[in-house]
Amino acid sequence: MFIEAIVISLIIGFIRGGKLRGFRRLNKVTTLLFILGAVVQYLISSIGQFADASSVELILRYIKPIQILSYLLILVGLLTNYRVRSIWPVLVGYILNFISLVSNGWLMPDLVANEVENVKLAFLGKTIQFFEPYPLPKLISLGDLIIAFGIFSLIQEMMLSDDGYRTSYRF
Residue 143: per-residue pLDDT? 87
CA distances from 161 to 32, 57, 77, 152 (A): 21, 46, 21, 14
- Please tell me the distance from the alpha carbon of residue 40 to that of residue 67, in angstroms, as a whole number: 8
Residue 14: per-residue pLDDT? 93
pTM score of the predicted model: 0.80
Q: Which residue has the higher pLDDT, 155 or 109?
A: 155
pLDDT at 13 over 90: yes
% of the chain exceeding 70 in pLDDT: 81
**Residue pLDDT, tens place only, 40-54:** 888 877 775 654 556
C-beta of residue 126 within 8 angstroms of C-beta of residue 140: yes
C-beta of residue 34 within 8 angstroms of C-beta of residue 76: yes
Q: Which residue has the higher pLDDT, 168 or 104?
A: 104
| Nearest C-alpha neighbor of 16 from the set 148, 168, 169 | 169
Q: Where are the domains of the chain?
A: 2-160
- Please tell me the distance from the alpha carbon of residue 139 to that of residue 144, in angstroms, as a whole number: 10
Residue 139: per-residue pLDDT? 76
